[in-house]
Chains A and B, each alone.
Chain A
């Protein structure tokens, strides 16, 4: 070995390239560092459980001991043929459709009224209408159990009985044909305040001068609403539809407590309550996992499709 040591000095060009590389490296490092906590939480509490559930759903398992009894798609087979599951899916769809048809328009109307109109005491109404959303779901359900108590001394029945002569007590939560609508009414009471606030925020972004300009041009109020306000509120409306649909499919706590575990006789079973009752309570964790995978599939398909097709324009706008 000779005593010389050679070192090739970098050319200025190489130096620049290296600097660029370094800055790229540090950028990548920054991104990684910032993303890491989020990714870890996402992986640990979302990705892994999803994979685990899919795996468990292929077994018959009561939650004790290791997974040993492989049943392939047997759980899915049982599930799709179970009349109560089929009913639960249609109940969830009904709640979703009613939410879109009743809850959102109502929230929008109230938002226009208390956010825009010349109503006296707007601030008070705004607060009062938002209060139900602040209650916890369990408390809401327990309060409404009293309000909708199925006997003649229940609150709603007493009130109706006072005004309507010869009124017969309505079994709000005990009538199989009525219970879903009772549940929907309570869901509406609880959640319309949330959508109302979103709409009010959206209305803030609708420029007043545009509406005024339309009025100057001779547009009537309904025309202003239809041609100016609603289109400009579009992104908020699309967002609320998205939240409302997902919320309907994932609804659990309020429905569970209010209807006594989806009763009477499963008449108000939703997908999530079905999962809990037939999966968790009966110690059928493999079966319950299959329900979870189906529910996940439905919501995933909807979210991806909706975001791709309907909400795409909103993302494009927000990037500009």
Chain B
């Protein structure tokens, strides 16, 4: 046994030499992989893909580091600044990724991506966020849209029609008032982390000014102090004045508010496609809302706004490849974005980005609705705090928080963002 094994190893080692090709294929390589899926079933999903790949490729060892979202961002920045990127890691694309690439920290996978692999992606727009100037540094594996999750039981309790959720901003404000009158917390919000609140303001800006207003502010032909961004604050203030959020929402975190929603203690939650998994995980029972209680509707249209009501704020998760990653990393990335792998992911609420996964979410109307909204959106707005450089993204989050806290007027908040943007965007 031992002898045979040794002989086999010897053959394996000698054969490529004899054939005159380098023995790259059998070199022991280690892939360092950082992901942020702390949720149990999703972490297990990645682990199972890594295990399967390692079984097929015994020379590859995949070392997984799981970091919580914020911890990940804070640990990644200094490591990148030190010039030592992980081999494979989480990214949302956009300015942050491009910055890494401009400093030679990312590996261009355009040659490997070209052709069959690239064509396999259904969400081409999502793919574009992971590259620039004809280069690609990684691919998305999940792509969704932010929308309103709501509790049908609580809607019914307040006398609202659970099958006819609000479609316009006015209807939303009315629904909020009705829920409040019925003694139900209309909306849960983990504003302590700031980004959950920025969804509200960005969506309003998107409805009021469309993609054009944002792109103009971004390329500096416009400004974040322009009318749509000020109006977004004014509309948001209409909502805030109704006092629709949890007690102490300025101090709550996203898991806190996911728990509130999963416990059925608040009627609405403006969040991305990861909310169904999170509301189950952070609820007291660990199960979340009962089957059929949760519903989803797109962010309401704003009367008279310049934006198309179908425009979607959203984004996806992707994995990108560090400059010093071994070749096998690309092969592994290809492996985890196959239709089979993506289909398996859809069972735990990951939204596939490749073709050939039609059977995903067959019996999950919520995820179906999100996928439809995502695919039908005339304009897709990536989260500001990922698309913009970190300082501007932070400025948006901070400014919106001051509106929620009642510390700044809509004009002041928009101006605060513009102050940083005029300094950072050139």
Question: Is B251 positioned at the interface, with any CB of A under 8 Å from its CB?
Answer: yes
Q: A176-B405, A265-B398 are in contact. Are A260 and B81 (CB under 8 A)?
A: no
A65 — which chain B residues lie within 8 A by C-beta? 103
A299 — which chain B residues lie within 8 A by C-beta? none
Min CB distance, B419 to chain A, in Å? 10
Question: Is B391 positioned at the interface, with any CB of A under 8 Å from its CB?
Answer: yes
Question: Is B363 positioned at the interface, with any CB of A under 8 Å from its CB?
Answer: no
Please tell me which one of the listed residues A150, A171, A175, A280 contacts residue B77 in the complex, with CB atoms under 8 A apart. A280
A263, A266, A277: most-surrounded residue (chain B CB, <10 A): A263
Q: Please, what's the 1-or-0 string for A282-297, where 1 marks a CB less than 8 Å from any CB in chain B?
A: 1111000000000000
Please tell me which one of the listed residues A174, A277, A281 contacts residue B250 in the complex, with CB atoms under 8 A apart. A174
Question: Is A72 positioned at the interface, with any CB of B under 8 Å from its CB?
Answer: no
| CB atoms of B81 and A63 under 8 A apart | yes
| CB atoms of A171 and B398 under 8 A apart | no
Min CB distance, A187 to chain B, in Å? 18
In the complex the two chains form, what is the Cα distance from A150 to B249 in whole Å?
Answer: 8
B253 — which chain A residues lie within 8 A by C-beta? 260
In the complex the two chains form, what is the Cα distance from A179 to B193 in whole Å?
Answer: 16
Question: Is B389 positioned at the interface, with any CB of A under 8 Å from its CB?
Answer: yes
Question: Is A151 positioned at the interface, with any CB of B under 8 Å from its CB?
Answer: yes
B192 — which chain A residues lie within 8 A by C-beta? 174, 260, 263-264
In the complex the two chains form, what is the Cα distance from A283 to B398 in whole Å?
Answer: 16
Q: How many pairs, one residue from A and one from B, have CB atoms within 8 Å of each other in the complex? A: 82
Question: Is A173 positioned at the interface, with any CB of B under 8 Å from its CB?
Answer: yes
Min CB distance, B132 to chain A, in Å? 16
Min CB distance, A51 to chain B, in Å? 19
Question: Is B128 positioned at the interface, with any CB of A under 8 Å from its CB?
Answer: no
| CB atoms of B407 and A263 under 8 A apart | no
Question: Is A106 positioned at the interface, with any CB of B under 8 Å from its CB?
Answer: no
| CB atoms of A171 and B81 under 8 A apart | no
Min CB distance, B191 to chain A, in Å? 7
Closest to A280 in B: B77
Interface set, chain B 230-254, CB cutoff 8 A to A: 246-253
Q: A176-B405, A282-B394, A283-B77 are in contact. Are A64 and B99 (CB under 8 A)?
A: yes
Interface set, chain A 240-291, CB cutoff 8 A to B: 260, 263-266, 277, 280-285
| CB atoms of A260 and B398 under 8 A apart | no
| CB atoms of B193 and A264 under 8 A apart | no
In the complex the two chains form, what is the Cα distance from A266 to B103 in whole Å?
Answer: 32
Please tell me which one of the listed residues B77, B248, B252 contacts residue A169 in the complex, with CB atoms under 8 A apart. B248
Question: Is B401 positioned at the interface, with any CB of A under 8 Å from its CB?
Answer: yes
B246, B247, B390, B407: most-surrounded residue (chain A CB, <10 A): B247
Does more than half of chain A's interface fall in helix, strand or loop, or is it mixed? loop
| CB atoms of B251 and A283 under 8 A apart | no
In the complex the two chains form, what is the Cα distance from A41 to B401 in whole Å?
Answer: 43
Question: Is B74 positioned at the interface, with any CB of A under 8 Å from its CB?
Answer: yes
| CB atoms of B81 and A151 under 8 A apart | no
| CB atoms of B251 and A174 under 8 A apart | yes
Please tell me which one of the listed residues A63, A64, A150, A277 contacts residue B251 in the complex, with CB atoms under 8 A apart. A150
Min CB distance, A67 to chain B, in Å? 13
Question: Is A62 positioned at the interface, with any CB of B under 8 Å from its CB?
Answer: yes
B74 — which chain A residues lie within 8 A by C-beta? 280-281
Min CB distance, B251 to chain A, in Å? 3
Q: How many residues of B contact A (CB 8 A)?
A: 30
Question: Is A152 positioned at the interface, with any CB of B under 8 Å from its CB?
Answer: yes
Q: How many residues of A contact B (CB 8 A)?
A: 28
Q: Please, what's the 1-or-0 string for A33-67, where 1 marks a CB less than 8 Å from any CB in chain B?
A: 00000000000000000000000000000111100
In the complex the two chains form, what is the Cα distance from A151 to B252 in whole Å?
Answer: 9
| CB atoms of A281 and B407 under 8 A apart | no
Closest to A287 in B: B391
| CB atoms of A284 and B391 under 8 A apart | yes
B398 — which chain A residues lie within 8 A by C-beta? 265-266
In the complex the two chains form, what is the Cα distance from A2 to B196 in whole Å?
Answer: 97
Q: Please, what's the 1-or-0 string for B399-413, where 1 marks a CB less than 8 Å from any CB in chain A?
A: 001101101000000
A169, A172, A174, A176: most-surrounded residue (chain B CB, <10 A): A174
In the complex the two chains form, what is the Cα distance from A281 to B393 in whole Å?
Answer: 11
Closest to A148 in B: B251
| CB atoms of B99 and A62 under 8 A apart | yes
A179 — which chain B residues lie within 8 A by C-beta? 251
In the complex the two chains form, what is the Cα distance from A282 to B81 in whole Å?
Answer: 13
Interface set, chain A 55-90, CB cutoff 8 A to B: 62-65
A150 — which chain B residues lie within 8 A by C-beta? 247-248, 250-252
Min CB distance, B68 to chain A, in Å? 13
A282 — which chain B residues lie within 8 A by C-beta? 390-391, 394
Closest to B423 in A: A78
In the complex the two chains form, what is the Cα distance from A277 to B390 in whole Å?
Answer: 11
In the complex the two chains form, what is the Cα distance from A285 to B390 in whole Å?
Answer: 12
In the complex the two chains form, what is the Cα distance from A152 to B185 in whole Å?
Answer: 14
Closest to A283 in B: B390
Please tell me which one of the listed residues B77, B102, B246, B402 contacts residue A63 in the complex, with CB atoms under 8 A apart. B77
| CB atoms of A64 and B394 under 8 A apart | no
Q: A171-B247, A174-B192 are in contact. Are A283 and B391 (CB under 8 A)?
A: yes
| CB atoms of A151 and B394 under 8 A apart | no
A173 — which chain B residues lie within 8 A by C-beta? 248, 251
B102 — which chain A residues lie within 8 A by C-beta? 64
A63 — which chain B residues lie within 8 A by C-beta? 77-78, 81
A265 — which chain B residues lie within 8 A by C-beta? 250, 398, 401-402, 404-405, 407
| CB atoms of B390 and A152 under 8 A apart | no
In the complex the two chains form, what is the Cα distance from A179 to B404 in whole Å?
Answer: 16
Closest to B249 in A: A174
Q: Please, what's the 1-or-0 string for B42-85, where 1 marks a CB less than 8 Å from any CB in chain A?
A: 00000000000000000000000000000000100110110000
In the complex the two chains form, what is the Cα distance from A264 to B190 in whole Å?
Answer: 11
B103 — which chain A residues lie within 8 A by C-beta? 64-65
Q: A176-B407, A265-B405 are in contact. Are A281 and B251 (CB under 8 A)?
A: no
Q: Please, what's the 1-or-0 string for B237-274, where 1 marks a CB less than 8 Å from any CB in chain A?
A: 00000000011111111000000000000000000000
Chain A interface residues (CB < 8 Å from chain B): 62-65, 149-152, 169, 171-176, 179, 260, 263-266, 277, 280-285
In the complex, besides A152-B247, A176-B250, 19 extra interface pairs with C-beta distance below 8 angstroms are: A62-B99, A64-B80, A149-B248, A150-B247, A151-B247, A151-B248, A169-B247, A171-B248, A171-B250, A172-B251, A173-B251, A175-B248, A176-B405, A263-B250, A264-B192, A264-B250, A265-B401, A280-B78, A282-B390
Could you name 12 residue pairs across A and B whose Cβ atoms are closer than 8 Å? A63-B77, A150-B247, A151-B248, A169-B247, A171-B248, A171-B250, A176-B405, A264-B405, A265-B398, A277-B394, A281-B390, A281-B394
Closest 6 CB pairs of A and B: A150-B248, A174-B251, A63-B81, A264-B250, A174-B248, A282-B391
